[in-house]
Amino acid sequence: MEVAKQLDEAGAFVHEPLDQTQPSIRLIRVSPELSEEGLIQCSVLHTTIEASYVCLSYRWGDPEPTNAKFILMNGKRFAVRQNLSDFLRLLQSEPPLGVGNDYWIDALSINQLNTSERNHQVTQMGAIYSGAEQVHVWLGKCADIHCIRRVFENLDEQTIIKNNELDLINQHIIWNDYWARAWVTQEIMLARNVVVSLDTILVNFSRLVLLTRNLWHQPSFSAFAQFVKCYQNDTKTRDQSLLSLLSKFRDRKSSVPHDKVYSLLSLCHEKSVIEVDYNVGQDDLAYSVLSCRKEDICICSAALVAKAIFEVDPPSRCAFSELLLEIDIAGCNFSMSKNRYGSHLSLGYLGEGGTCDLSSFSYLLLGEGVHKDCLGFWLYDFAKTLVNDTDLSKYCRRLLVSATVAQLVAVISHMGSQSAMYNFSSGWSIQVLEHETNLCRVRVFLPALGSSLGAVIEACPSPKPWHQKPAYGPIQDIRLVRRSYDGQ
């Protein structure tokens, strides 16, 4: 977008407006002839999704404003990034790759400087990819293409390949950064037909899946292996809740936080509920995702959305965030014990199975009366934060007696027992509720929740309401709230 803005200011190619009252799109037709300057020449066609076209699925790559590659769009100069430039040049010079087809290519077909148009096009992205005759996956250029070609030319399900050849296929195909893109899930899952090209090698995606599956055991944690599993079970991947899809594809990458959500809309239940709008802030986007399915609110679902949307520098977001998760806690007690090594501070809860030390990780490992899901991991994090807090621990050690969390917070905050508030630097606070001696309310800023509780997300691969999980006595309620303008 930085390059496009520079060229727009210089009077280069400018997109003509699309009719946003229709399912309008722009298609790109690559000429087989280069310009006199040796530049790739493209024609831009305005049509609708009813037309015949091929969609390109690829990585944009890192912005290179000082090293832009130029093409001609309707005879005018336009800058593109290296990976797209490589594909267009190959498309122009290699007829089998598709010269003569009209392509939909997001970097060229969408005016990236016009937010209204981006919203319009992304809203119908599912229809664009499902309506294409073919989706063309571009994995990029490859310096070792001749070696890989020799492997593919003789490849069948019984082929035994050498280790060095396997290393090349792993490097350029299995571990290609393309598979980690947020948008790849929707683009391929909705396609009628998918072909994959690595440099000048072109193969049908279903054949690539079959060959790689039979040749070796792929690392199950690779993005490619995960995607293949979803592709083979596409009916299970489609029409799930957005939270389930965010959980399944939580490691996908995107430079724009909104795309972590928008890239999954066409596959989820909430496609008609969440509006595509790149003008909304991260707080508003997170709120819309969590509030559209209020019954699914839990620590894991909130942490999942927070990690997706506030992933970049989350601690600095806490001071500006309006979104908090409120968690009511009851029945937790500080206790101080002494042994030959000194005093030991712990936070315990007396449940049906006896007293459980929440601040000891052994309670999760032993699993006696405690379940290893997001609530258990969060209680451990909560307890460790309390017992390690300097002021609270000093006060407890001085008293050397037991105290409820509510009682201790009320005293240490020097605000009495009425609505006392104790703030932590990690982005959350504890409030003592009025007329309650044993109940406190923990308020956690969503950005802090996503950055500090990775184990919470891993513990619950399928988000569901907290009250449907095994009972945790200390947790009484969980709510998503917005901070008021006075900061309360």
Q: From the first residue on, what is the mean pLDDT of each consecutive set of 10 residues in the chain (488 residues)?
A: 46 90 96 92 96 95 76 95 94 66 95 96 96 95 86 64 79 91 92 92 86 60 79 69 86 90 92 92 91 77 86 61 84 70 70 68 51 73 76 64 65 52 70 70 81 62 65 78 63
Q: Do residues 338 and 211 share a domain?
A: no
d(CA 169, CA 162) in angstroms, rounded, equals 11
DSSP state of 76: E
Query: Which of these three, 199, 232, 265, is where a domain ends?
Result: 232
- Domain endpoint, select from 173, 208, 232: 232
The pLDDT, as a whole number, for residue 23 is: 96
- Residue 216's SS3 state is coil
Q: Assess contact for 485 and 342: CB atoms under 8 A.
A: no
Helices and strands in the chain, H and E counts? 22, 18
Residues 207 and 343 both lie in one domain = no
Taking alpha carbons only, the member of 112, 113, 174 closest to residue 139 is 174
State the Cα–Cα distance between residues 148 and 186, nearest whole angstrom.
28
Domain C-terminal end among 232, 255, 283: 232
Say what the pLDDT of residue 11 is.
53
User: How many domains, in total, are found in the chain?
Assistant: 2
Can you tell me the distance from the alpha carbon of 347 to that of 396, in angstroms, rounded to the nearest whole number?
11
Asked if residue 333 is part of any domain, the answer here is yes
**Same-domain status, 358 and 468:** yes
3-state SS, 306-357, equals HHHHCCCCHHHHCCCCCEEEEEEEECEEEEEEEECCEEEEEEEEEECCEEEE
Q: Whole domain around residue 418: which residue ranges?
A: 324-482
- Tokens 């050498």, residue located: 162
Looking at residue 415, what is its pLDDT? Answer: 45
Please compute, for residue 15, the number of CA atoms within 13 A of its CA located in the half-sphere on the CB side: 22
Contact 267, 185 (CB under 8 A): yes
Domain membership flag for residue 172: yes
For residue 388, tell me if it sits in a domain: yes
pLDDT of residue 48: 97
CA 84 to chain centre: 24
9 C-beta neighbours (distance < 10 Å), count: 8
The pTM assigned to this predicted structure is: 0.84
Q: Which residues contact 321 (CB under 8 A, 6 or more apart)?
A: 283, 310, 445, 446, 447, 483
Residues 159 and 17 in one domain: yes
CA atoms within 13 A on the CB side of 263: 26
Residues 332 and 221 in one domain: no
Question: Are 228 and 337 members of one domain?
Answer: no
Q: Is 380 a domain residue? A: yes
If asked whether residues 332 and 224 sit together in one domain, one would say no
Q: Is the domain of 31 the same as that of 135?
A: yes
H or E element at residue 6: helix 2-9
Residues 332 and 227 in one domain: no
| Domain membership flag for residue 261 | no
Concatenated DSSP letters of 381-424? HHHHHHHH-HHHHHHHHHH-S-EEHHHHHHHHTTS-SSS-EEE-
pLDDT of residue 127: 96
Residues 71-82: b if buried by 16+ CB within 10 A, e if exposed: bbbeeebbbbbb
Residue 164 has a pLDDT of 78
Whole-angstrom distance, CA of residue 206 vs CA of residue 231: 9
55's enclosing H/E stretch is: strand 54-57
Structural domain includes residue 103: yes
Asked whether residue 238 is domain-assigned, the answer is no
The rounded distance, in Å, linking the Cα atoms of 44 and 26 is 6
* Positive or negative torsion for Cα 405, 407, 410, 414: negative
At how many degrees (to 10) do helices 405-412 and 390-399 cross? 110
Crossing angle of helices 223-232 and 205-215, in 10° steps, is 120
Within a domain: residue 256? Answer: no
| φ and ψ at residue 296, rounded to 5 degrees | -95, 0
pLDDT of res. 438: 73
Strand order in the sheet with 323-330: 421-423, 428-432, 439-445, 323-330, 475-482
